Amino acid sequence: MTYEAIIGLEVHAQLLTRTKIFCGCSTEFGAPPNTHTCPVCLGMPGVLPVLNRKVVEYTIRMALATNCTIASESRFARKNYFYPDLPKGYQISQYELPIAEHGYIHIQLNGHPRRIGITRIHMEEDAGKLIHDPHRPVSAVDFNRTGVPLIEIVSEPDIRTPEEAGAYLRHLRAILRYLEICDGNMEEGSFRCDANVSVRPAGTNTFGTRTELKNMNSFKHVENALAYEIRRQEALIEDGGEVVQETRLWDPDEGVTVSMRGKEEAHDYRYFPDPDLLPLVIDEELVEQIRSTLPELPEAKRARFIETYGIPPYDAQLLTSSRALGDYFEACVKHFPEPKTVSNWVMGSLLARLKAENKTIEQSPVSPERMAELLRLIDSGVISGKIAKTVFEEMASSGNAPETIIREKGLVQITDPDAIVEVVKQVLTEYTKEVSDYKAGKTKLFRFFVGQVMKATRGKANPKMVNEILRKML
């Protein structure tokens, strides 16, 4: 039997506000434990939460960017459970009346768009952090993160493969970053994902029982965990067993998911409206004002790049993966209006270099202006494309202008036909055996001669001219 997987994702994104959601404590990461706390976020008796306006604005930004309907009235609810990182004994979240619902985004997979529904987006507070002592049977708790604002973005069960899940998460993260409301750092936990997955015989319509996977702190982990879990559920059903609804933990070292606990139901949490917080009323005016400040989003930018620059969808997708990368590309094109050439260099040499140095595009050692200068030098024939790669690496290391590097290292391309003829002559007299083989029909040797000429000129001869002259002289 063949199976089809059904996947729905819950994403928690930490909002980049300066202060917490219900008190004035700083949200700054990495401060000494329990220094960013106050009676409100520590859940002392008799204190009252006050909603942070920025949290609401940021959530509306995300809701608009994902085509959600924004509720004119929403409510905060208490989700009750005990855990040592939750001082109040309940988490303030939203339940019955979330701030946003019924949205969607389009993901691109192998050039095909897929619409993924967004069930809801709601605001909630983060819990603290437990630190387990590996040497003693003791755990410590840090409440700095308690009350840091989160939005939870719940997808419809529209995702069908681990790759689609990865594409959805990358797109969601790109939107959050474009909006500048979340840094999207999965390793540091400011962008977290729980994955719900079930399988069913292909062609059937009802959903199977789902499991919920946790503890994945990279896109690769999510994809690997889902792939494993899909295989596990299929094998279980094939063996005549049944999938149990439960929460499972991804173990990246073993590459398996392991049962953690039975799945809790919503009623286990005894949700009820938080009596300390008024219903949240949002007027149309605020929504429209926020809408007017939205930047161009990845989907729109991608379409525009294809349309105005005529670059392939693949390039457009990659170049719009972050706002800064798109800006870099456009700045280059402004100075050197050959979009595909720019795209090749940005996606190739530049991204490779940034990756090797573990840098972001914002930290690029080569400015768009300098990149454009380099491309102009290739275009005008001063250097060959091959030499340009060397020049680029040198630009990235030294920060020098391409002209300076070319001059100092004597890399100017040889375009004087007489000079090239001289070198070709030398090569042909040196390799007499190869010349006669070539003339006897071993035409593949042509590339060998080109190589020899390039070697003799240390890569500086104009390759096109070398080809022409060789062809004539042979």
Q: CA–CA separation, 330 vs 195, rounded Å? A: 36
Q: List Cα–Cα distances, 66 to 15, 53, 103, 211, in angstroms.
A: 16, 20, 6, 26
Stretch that binds ligand ADP, among 4-12, 279-287, 333-341, 356-364 (CB under 6 A): 4-12
User: Is residue 127 a contact point for Zn ion (CB under 5 A)?
Assistant: no
Residue 439, SS3?
A: helix
- The Cα–Cα gap between 473 and 463 comes to 15
By CB under 6 A, tell whether 101 contacts ligand ADP. no
**Choice between 23 and 361, CB closer to Zn ion:** 23
Which residue of the chain is nearest Mg ion when measured via CB? 10
Question: For ligand ADP, which is the closer residue by CB, 120 or 301?
Answer: 120
Select the span of 22-30, 97-105, 122-130, 265-273 touching Zn ion (CB under 5 A): 22-30
Choose the contact partner of 23 out of Mg ion, ligand ADP, Zn ion, none; CB within 5 to 8 A by kind: Zn ion
Residue 198's binding partner out of Mg ion, ligand ADP, Zn ion, none, with CB under 5 to 8 Å set by partner kind? ligand ADP
Q: Strands 211-214 and 191-201: what pairing? A: antiparallel
Determine, following the binding rule CB under 6 A, whether residue 81 of this chain makes contact with ligand ADP: no
Nearer to Zn ion, 40 or 176 (CB): 40
User: At 79, is the secondary structure helix, strand, or coil?
Assistant: strand
User: For residues 222 and 169, is the Cβ–Cβ distance under 8 A?
Assistant: yes
What's the min distance (Å) between Cβ of 20 and Zn ion? 5
Can you tell me the distance from the alpha carbon of 162 to that of 156, in angstroms, rounded to the nearest whole number?
15
Q: How far is the CB of 210 from ligand ADP (least distance, A)?
A: 4
Site string (24-63) toward Zn ion, x via CB under 5 A: -x------------x-xx----------------------
Which position among 5, 23, 62, 63 is part of the footprint of Zn ion (CB under 5 A)? 23
DSSP 370-399: HHHHHHHHHHTTSS-HHHHHHHHHHHHHH-
In whole angstroms, what is the distance from residue 469 CA to residue 386 CA? 19
Please choose, from the candidates 206, 251, 213, 177, the residue with its C-alpha nearest in 3D space to the C-alpha of residue 8.
213
Per CB under 6 A, 272 contacts ligand ADP? no
Task: Tell me how crowded residue 379 is: count the other CB atoms within 10 A of its CB.
Answer: 13
- Report, in Å, the least distance between residue 206 CB and ligand ADP: 9
Q: In terms of CB distance, is 10 or 327 closer to ligand ADP?
A: 10
**154 binds, options ligand ADP, Mg ion, Zn ion, none, Cβ within 5 to 8 A by partner type:** ligand ADP
Considering only residues 183 to 242 of the shown chain, the ones binding ligand ADP according to CB under 6 A are 196-198, 207, 210, 212
3-class SS shares of the chain: helix, strand, coil, % to 5? 40, 20, 40
Using only C-alpha atoms, what is the Rg of the chain?
29
CA–CA dist 365, 123 (Å, integer): 39
Q: How far apart are CB 246 and ligand ADP at their closest, in Å?
A: 12
139: helix, strand or coil = strand
Helix and strand numbers (H, E) in the chain are 16, 16
Tell me the closest approach of the beta carbon of residue 41 to Zn ion, in angstroms: 3
25 binds, among ligand ADP, Zn ion, Mg ion, none (CB under 5 to 8 A by kind): Zn ion
Q: Which residues contact 250 (CB under 8 A, 6 or more apart)?
A: 213, 214, 215, 216, 221, 224, 225, 228, 256, 257
Residue appearing with tokens 């969808």: 313
Give residue number: closest CB to ligand ADP. 8
Kindly indicate which of the ranges 23-31, 90-98, 133-141, 432-440 contains the residues binding Zn ion, using the contact rule CB under 5 A: 23-31
Q: Does 342 bind ligand ADP (CB under 6 A)?
A: no
Q: CB 391: neighbour CB atoms within 10 A?
A: 23
Alpha helices for 140-218 (secondary structure H) = 162-178
Q: How far is the CB of 198 from ligand ADP (least distance, A)?
A: 3
- Binding flag, residue 157, ligand ADP (CB under 6 A): yes
Could you identify the residue written with the tokens 């933990």? 249
At its nearest, how many Å lie between Mg ion and the CB of residue 336? 49
87 binds ligand ADP (CB under 6 A): no
Residues near ligand ADP, by CB under 6 A: 6-10, 154-157, 196-198, 207, 210, 212
Residues near Mg ion, by CB under 5 A: 10
Residues near Zn ion, by CB under 5 A: 23, 25, 38, 40-41
